[in-house]
Structures are given as C-alpha cells and as structure tokens.
Structure 1
Amino acid sequence: MTSSQRLPASLTPLDAAVATLLGGVGAVAPVELALADALYCIAAETPPLKACPRRDTAAVDGYALCARDLVGASSYSPLPLPAAPVWVEAGEAIPDGCDCVLDLDSVDVSGPMPQVLAEAIPGQGVRRAGSDIAAGRLVVEPGERVLPHALLMARAAGLERLNVRRPRLRVVNVPGGQVTSDLVAESARAAGAATVSFTAAGRDAGSIGAALDSSSCDLLLIIGGSGVGRTDATITALASRGEVLAHGIALQPGRTAAIGRVDKTPAVVLPGASDQALAAWWTLVLPVLDRLSGRCPHRTVNLPLARKIASQVGIAEIVLVERKQDTWSTLAVGELSLEAIVRADAWLVVSGGSEGFAAGSLVDAYMLRE
C-alpha cells in the first residue's frame, strides 16, 4: 500500500456525516426469539398480557376461609367450624367463597370439631388476581431494551418467546486491531445486535475488500486501517467494493473514521485505536443501530458542570464525565485515556459550532451504565 489513501482537505461535520449515513435506513423486521436470546434486544410490538395470577391464589400455606365468618374468633373464644377447612399451598387457587388464608397456628383441627383461633381480614394471606401483572400490561414497551426484569415478567406470564428487532452486524477486523474489534463486537451485542466477527486475511486492500460481504448483514463495520499510514488500505478497499461517502470526520477523537455503503448496506470504518473507535461508535454507529432496531432515544441525565469545558470550534469533541454530588465532573475532553473510559458514567458531545460550556451549565450526558 502506498500513501495514496489521503484524508480530504476539509473534514465532514459530524451532523452531516450522521445524516448521510442514516439516509434510507429503516427499522428491520421483527423476529421472534426465545426469552434468553431476546435479552438486551429492542422490543417490537407484542400483544398485551393477561392478568397474573389469573385468579386469587394463596400467598402462604394455610387454611382457606371467609373472613366475615371469623368475626370474634380468638384463642380465648374459639370459633367452631361446621366443616373442615380447605388446606391450600402457596400458589394454589383460593376456593370459591373464600377470601383469606390462616396459618396452621390459627386453626385447631385436633379435636372432633375444627376451631378457628383468630380473626382475619379479606385478602389476608392472598395474592389477588392481577396483583403481579395487570391485564393489558406489556412485557416491555416497543423500542425499549429487553432487560432481565422484563424476562421475569414474561416467564411469570407463561411466555416462551418475544418479538424483538435485532439488526445483523458484521464486524471486519483489519489485522492489528483485535483488542478494539473485540470491544466493538461486545458493545454491539450489548446493544442487542446479532454480531458476526471476521478477520481479514491481510492489511492490503484486496484482503480487506474480500471480507466486505454485505449480503447477510444490516450494518457493516470495519475496524482499523482508516488512517494515512503506508499499511492503511481500508478506505481503498471500501471504495473498491462500494462507495465512500465521507472519509475524515470532524470528530475528536476519531477524525480518521469514514462512512460508506456496500450495495445498499451502510458501512462505518472505525479507527483501530480503542478511544477513537469508541468515539465513532457512540456518534456514528449507535444512531444507525437505533434506527435499525427502532430503539427509543437513549437515556440522558441533565446536571450542571462542576467546571467549564473548553473546546475548539469546528471539531465535535467527545467529553467523558462522572457523576459527583449531583454535578458532572469532567474526566477527559477530546483525548480519552483507558482509565477515563473505565471510570466514566456518561459521555456527551461538544458540537463543532460551540466553544464549550461554562461551569454550572446544565448539560445532557448519555449514560454508559444502566
């Protein structure tokens, strides 16, 4: 590879790059997955649930009775029963005509006639119908991530599968960037994508181009080889297999990132360095995955800045922050160390048209943790 792979004289603004990349991208068709496979995917439309439990059930082991028949019962004045009460185990349906469950110590069945030794109130020891899941409730709202507590509800409702949208993502690693490739693949799986990883046979344009198969994916990611070094050939490879829409994004870190298409499939080239790849992942890849999966907007938290953030005009800069005493404390601006990445609670972008934010300014930051 010669030095023919060059960054353009001017960088493409981040907003323009995102808008171009999203052109023509729509949500993928829903698929029905087993509950374990649906975890962390984005929910599609699902039918409303029936009430759970379907009818009143015992919350404890004991005797099922009617509370109004027990008025005045006590250990000093036992109330005889005309017939033996029905014993129910926790989770069993309450018999018709009963509305409470008394424990073993509150009913004496040792003599010839059973006796109740305590009063009760309606609902005592009972789990009411619909108390766990109200009729008409959804397991998870469309566009939201399927989290473990949603699977708990699904299993309680007797479901075995869920409708979700799971984009198919192909990650192509250019040799030399395996650490970053693993990070991207793991981040993709956490975002609910079905991910297949592939390592190109070499760093030359022919080897990289041979790996750019878009026939079975909704989004193509190429990791590494996006710079202007003598062995950087990814942009040339992408141009040979499809179209380079922009190479050189006004983003710090991550300015050697690129966007393009192979056939009709969007493609993003992420730099091989982990911090630059993360910046491009957050700002370029996640918007595409969100569009493909129909995801609701990511959660942000609005807090004041503990100190000012200064930024260079013309370049969108990534800022990492951690939450301290209800303020955002800045960890890194534009240059992201591994320690800052690990410590960060959230990230934000200072747009290319801004010089930054004054101390005390309220800013929205995208959360990195649930």
Structure 2
Amino acid sequence: MTSPQRLPNSLTPLDQALDALLQGVEPVAPVELLLVEALRCVAAEMPALPACPPRAIAAVDGFAFAARDLVGASSYSPLPLTAPPIWVEAGEAMPEACDGVLDSDSVDMSGPMPQVLAEVVPGQGVRRTGSDIAAGRLAVEAGRRVRSRDLLLARAAGLERLSVRRPRLRTVNVPGGSVAAESLVESAQAAGAEAVSFTTVGRDATSIAAALDDSACDLLLIVGGSGVGRTDAAVTALASRGQVLVHGIALQPGRTSAVGRIGKTPVLVLPGAPAHAFAAWWTLALPMLDRLSGRRPRKTVNLPLARKIASSVGIAEIALLERRQGMWTPLAVGELSLDAIARAEAWRVISGGSEGFAAGSPIDAYMLRD
C-alpha cells in the first residue's frame, strides 16, 4: 500500500514557502515575567530605568569630607578639625556637601582634636548618582533578547519583572522523529519560546490529526511523516484539519517540508531526519519565531571563505561553517551529518540561483551560538 502523500512536480522556492508561512503573522502580545523566566525571551517595550545609585554613595569605608575643606592637608601639615568627622560605610548615602571619602589612616583620632593628614580629591571613594545606571537607560531594548547581563541591570534598578514576548510552540512528534523533535524543542526554548511536546500514538493520519491542537499555541510544529514513504501521513493529517499551503520546498536538505494553517495558526511540517529537520528549522521556523516575538533582524558575521563552496542551481542548499583563523571553513553543504551539525558555528543558505562562492569570497553567516 502506497502513501497518499505526493510531492508536486515542481518544488516551491524557499523564499515563497517562507512568505506563505509568515503571511498575516504579527508579534504576540507582551507578558510580564519574573526576571529568571524572562531570560532568553525577546524584550517588549518597557519603561526607562531610574538612576542607580539614586544619589551619591560611599564606595569604601572611611570618613566623608568636602574636598574644598581639606586643601593643603598632609602628614607634614595636619589639618585640625573643630568637630568629629563623619564615618560612612560602603553603600551608605554621602552626607550633604561631602564629595570624597578618606580611609581611617588619613585621619588621626589619637589626640584631643582630630587631624586630617591628607587631601581628598572630589569623587574619591564615592559612586556618583547614575554611575552604575544612567537615568533613562533601558534594561533591554525592545526586540533584543534578554541576556544575563541585562538581568543584572534590572535587579540593580529594583525590577522584579520584565515585559517580553514569548511565543507558544507546540511540537507534535510522529514516532520515528524523536531525536529531531527533542532537539528542536531545546532550540525553541533557547530562542525564548514556550515549548511543549507531544508524541502521537501512531504514524497514521488519524493519530496525527488527533494531536493537532492549535488552541494554545502560536506555531504548531509537526516533526516526522512529511515524506512520501508508505507510513508517512503528516501532510495528509494536516489537510484533514486545515489547509496545506506548500508541500515540497526547493531546500536541501529538507525538501519534503510543508507549510499550512489550521484556522489562523501557522503549521510547519518537518521531516523526521535530524539534518532535514534542522535545515527547515533554521530557514523557516526560526524566522517565524522571530516574527512572533518581535525580534530585530538577526546579526550575521562576515568572513572570507577558506575554500570554495560549490552548489547546485535551482535548489537552496544549507552550508554549515566553522571559524578558523579568521575565515569560514565549510563543514558540509547540502548533505549534513550529525557531527557537522554539532561542530558548526554558523549556517548559510546558498541560494538556488547561485552556483556557490569562490575561495576568499566574503560571505555572511548566521551564528548558531548567539
């Protein structure tokens, strides 16, 4: 018995498939998350931070003075004080009119009258207002990923939550594609998505269709069963529940991927083989998550090629790259091994209209470890 799934006579260009997937998709609504939960999510608009510290504070333990009052003081010419000096601990607010802190060795308290044995420079031993965080600064700019160092600023400013956009991803794993599915869930979480995974009870269309719940997700991902094998039925299942927009993409690896909709929810069907699944993930799923999260365009790194890349005309191919001595070294093109995927630092799509790149050509590549 043969599968009812068939690829069309001509494959859909990658850019057209991506356009179909992104059609009408807008960023999800912001949510307020605890700082630890906001890590790796994409920041939404948020208020400016107050100055930190809010006023001048002592940076060290010592005696607080006004620099202008100690001009000329030294061990050879001690300056007597008519009143006991003010002691401050590190982190305490500076007294009014004081702008410097001297350590205890610079003040002689042994006699009947305290004596200062050194001058103080304005700002010495003091953290000025806004020296850690200038008033008006943002903990994270909208559209940027929240990093650990961003949380440092938020905590210093007294924030407990951040406004972020966190798309909800539901992954439906068709038996046989669990290695790819589990890895993609981890990749989705690293990209700031809220990801949950389910495994269907079988590979048949009825079992897969039963798991296609679009009620609590912004992107539905089916991993496995996208091809034309006798037990492949993921695209048939999608057609029974919604609409198949594209099946068969001019992408190597990943050509059996499909794009569709269930109601208003975009659906992406990926092959179960890890290399094919990751190729479609990088080129289709990540741009979708970026759109849903309102992320700014991902940065690329431009380096010359250590050796040429040859590519077939008419189909987009994935190139995996490793950085060596300031150059991109190709690890694999089109045919991706698991070892190459694990070692790669960056990836690049070689357009279907290109025959590749000559050695020494500077090319842009997306980092896999951002």
TM-score of the superposed pair, with normalisation by structure 2: 0.98
SS at match of 1:363: strand
Residue pair 2:7, 2:228 contacting (<8 A) in 1 also: yes
| One-letter amino acid matched to 2:219 | L
| One-letter amino acid matched to 2:243 | E
Listed as ranges, the matches of 1:279-358 within 5 Å are: 279-358=279-358
State the Cα distance separating 1:219 from its structure 2 match.
Answer: 0.4
| One-letter amino acid matched to 2:110 | S
Q: Deviations over 1:237-259 (max 9, x none)?
A: 11111111111111111111111
Listed as ranges, the matches of 1:159-174 within 5 Å are: 159-174=159-174
State the Cα distance separating 1:61 from its structure 2 match.
Answer: 1.1
Aligned to 2:263: 263
State the Cα distance separating 1:262 from its structure 2 match.
Answer: 0.9
Give the share of equivalent positions with the same residue, in percent: 74
State the Cα distance separating 1:110 from its structure 2 match.
Answer: 2.9
State the Cα distance separating 1:224 from its structure 2 match.
Answer: 0.7
Aligned mates of 1:257, 1:207 — CA distance in 2:
19
State the Cα distance separating 1:325 from its structure 2 match.
Answer: 1.8
Aligned mates of 1:105, 1:345 — CA distance in 2:
54
Aligned mates of 1:75, 1:202 — CA distance in 2:
87
Q: Deviations over 1:273-312 (max 9, x none)?
A: 1111111001000111111111001110111111111100
Residue pair 2:224, 2:234 contacting (<8 A) in 1 also: yes
Aligned mates of 1:300, 1:86 — CA distance in 2:
55
State the Cα distance separating 1:349 from its structure 2 match.
Answer: 0.5
Aligned structure 1 segments of 4 or more residues deviating by more than 4 angstroms: none
Q: Deviations over 1:1-29 (max 9, x none)?
A: 74211122111110000011110101111
Q: Does 1:236 align with 2:231?
A: no
Listed as ranges, the matches of 1:31-180 within 5 Å are: 31-180=31-180
SS at match of 1:60: coil
Residue pair 2:144, 2:296 contacting (<8 A) in 1 also: yes
Q: Deviations over 1:99-139 (max 9, x none)?
A: 00111222222332212121110000001101111111111
**Range with greater deviation from structure 2 (310-319 or 334-343):** 334-343
Aligned mates of 1:209, 1:59 — CA distance in 2:
64
Aligned to 1:194: 194
| One-letter amino acid matched to 2:218 | D
SS at match of 2:366: strand
The unaligned stretches of length 5 or more in structure 2 are none
Aligned mates of 1:20, 1:246 — CA distance in 2:
8
SS at match of 1:214: coil
| One-letter amino acid matched to 2:94 | I
Aligned mates of 1:197, 1:163 — CA distance in 2:
25
State the Cα distance separating 1:75 from its structure 2 match.
Answer: 2.2
SS at match of 1:197: strand
| One-letter amino acid matched to 1:73 | A
The unaligned stretches of length 5 or more in structure 1 are none
SS at match of 1:321: strand
Aligned mates of 1:83, 1:320 — CA distance in 2:
73
CA RMSD of aligned residues (A): 1.1
Corresponding residue pairs, total: 370
Residue pair 2:3, 2:233 contacting (<8 A) in 1 also: no
Aligned to 1:20: 20
Aligned mates of 2:150, 2:285 — CA distance in 1:
26
Aligned mates of 2:307, 2:293 — CA distance in 1:
36
Aligned mates of 2:90, 2:2 — CA distance in 1:
75
State the Cα distance separating 1:218 from its structure 2 match.
Answer: 0.5
Aligned mates of 2:108, 2:364 — CA distance in 1:
64
Q: Deviations over 1:323-344 (max 9, x none)?
A: 1222111111011112211221
SS at match of 2:275: helix
